[in-house]
Amino acid sequence: MKKLLLGLSLAVAVPALVVSVRAAEPDGLILPPGFHASLMAEGLGPLRHLAVRPNGDIYASTGGEGAKPEGLVAIRPGPDGKAAQVEHFSSVNGGTGIGLYHGMLYAASDRAIYRFRFQGDTLLPDGEPETVVADIPRTGNHPIAFDDKGDLFVSLGAKSDACSSKPPGGATPVGQKPCPDLTGGAGIWRFAAGRTGQAFTDGEQIATGIRFVTAMAWSPPAGLYAIMHGRDGTHAAFPELVSAADDDAIADEMHHVVKGTDFGWPYSYYDGARNIRLLAPDYGGDGKTTAQEGVYSTPAVSFQPMRAAPVDLLFYQGRQFPRAWRGGAFIALHGTGGPQLPGGRNGYTVAFVPFDRDGKPGALQTFADGFAGPSPADRNSGKAKYRPVGLAVAPDGALYVADSNKGRIWRIAYGD
């Protein structure tokens, strides 16, 4: 089994004594001792991120344009914890981001952020959504997050993998500097969460150097964190400079975001095996030369080899789980694609990073496993039975995990 690394080469620790409870869990899920899962809903389509209202109603974003169903999904659990009512509503889709703020549901499309109002405890929102932020550049999914000061954070990706072009005649790619994607994109913007009618130009950019972010969340003690997917295909483009093993070590990166944070894309990338930031070969790098110190952010957590496709991030603020799991970050690792490997690929799990009272992260570990199937070879896209994609916490502190393959949602609770 391949490893995930945290900071200075900390490997995933699979909790001990979890195999003995495997048969008791639905779909073969593997959980730490004392935790148990139940199937809350199924057959909901290509789900993405989740949000839960204080009354327990669950809302999910879907896979985007062309996926069936489109729009958003509303689920009301019954007394037995299973879905008692499911409704598909709205045409807002394709933005991934979804969240609740001051009793209203916020959802992202690829061009705007909307919010929905509710009348009492009705499952479906009242009327048409209001536009919070309009005219967002079309750069794919837009994860969103809220802080405790009234700010809405919106992430925009880049339009290219490495911001480089290949000259005629088969020459190696050459990076564009300055990279045009960094103007009006490839960063994180801050808006007023409580105000409608904002244009994208009204926002304040607080971070740059982002290829694309699929997971972003706020923690009261730790602040804003976001996970960027690292560049792909570097060995294929520069086989004499970057070996296949070195390409595998190019990490997905989880960063603490403050005003002025630069993730380093496209001019550099983070080598999770050597724990160093290297100059990208498109910009004069040779697989050995480190990037200038003090310019780019150092990730708090890195995921490699072959990364793991982290797609959602949740800081657990519930009270149900034991203290060791409180305040830390749960991460949905969707699993990487590519050619089928007999030993499987990385991810297909829900991971956990503990945070101390000062907001500092600890060692990455596996929280929930078994989604893909019982065999290592099941950890391949196209073969994996389920792939974790969205996370949310119920009012009672249970953890919901959504699947992108068949549209399942599991409820994971402690002591049930």
CA–centroid distance for 28 within its chain: 23
Tell me the domain boundaries of the chain: 5-414
The percent of residues in the chain predicted with pLDDT above 70, rounded, is 93
What is the per-residue pLDDT across 2-14, written as a single tens digit (0 to 9) for each?
333 333 333 333 3
Q: What is the DSSP letter of 405?
A: S
Instruction: Return the closest-CA partner of residue 126 out of 200, 74, 65.
Output: 74
Q: What is the pTM of this model?
A: 0.92
Tally Cβ neighbours within 10 Å of residue 33: 11
What is the per-residue pLDDT across 341-400, written as a single tens digit (0 to 9) for each?
999 999 999 999 999 988 889 989 999 999 999 999 999 999 999 999 999 999 999 999
What's the pLDDT score for residue 2? 34
Report how far apart the first and last C-alpha atoms of the chain are (Å, whole number).
30
User: pLDDT confidence of 22, banded at 50, 70, 90?
Assistant: very low
What's the pLDDT score for residue 20? 38
Virtual torsion, Cα 206, 208, 211, 213, nearest 10 deg = -10
Count of H-run helices and E-run strands, the chain:
2, 32
Statement: residue 237 has pLDDT above 90? yes
What's the pLDDT score for residue 53? 98
Distance CA 117, CA 130 (A): 9
User: pLDDT confidence of 171, banded at 50, 70, 90?
Assistant: confident
Statement: residue 24 has pLDDT above 90? no
User: pLDDT confidence of 172, banded at 50, 70, 90?
Assistant: confident
| Longest pairwise C-alpha distance within the chain | 66
User: pLDDT confidence of 94, banded at 50, 70, 90?
Assistant: confident
What is the per-residue pLDDT across 41-73, written as a single tens digit (0 to 9) for each?
999 988 999 999 999 999 999 875 556 667 999
What is the per-residue pLDDT across 308-355, written as a single tens digit (0 to 9) for each?
999 999 999 999 999 999 999 999 999 988 889 999 999 999 999 999
Phi, psi of 80 (to 5 degrees): -85, 5
What's the pLDDT score for residue 287? 95
Distance CA 344, CA 291 (A): 32
What's the pLDDT score for residue 416? 65
Distance CA 58, CA 52 (A): 5
Statement: residue 134 has pLDDT above 70? yes
Q: Kindly state the average pLDDT of the residues 199-216.
A: 97
Distance CA 369, CA 16 (A): 12
Q: Is domain 5-414 classified as CATH 3.40.640.10? A: no
Distance CA 68, CA 2 (A): 34
Identify the H or E element spanning 236. Answer: helix 234-237
Q: What is the DSSP letter of 71?
A: S
Distance CA 228, CA 219 (A): 18
Distance CA 186, CA 189 (A): 10
Token reading at 238: 């520069």
Distance CA 108, CA 95 (A): 4
What's the pLDDT score for residue 307? 82
> Which string of DSSP letters, residue by residue, matches 161-178?
SSSEEPPTTTPPPEE-SS
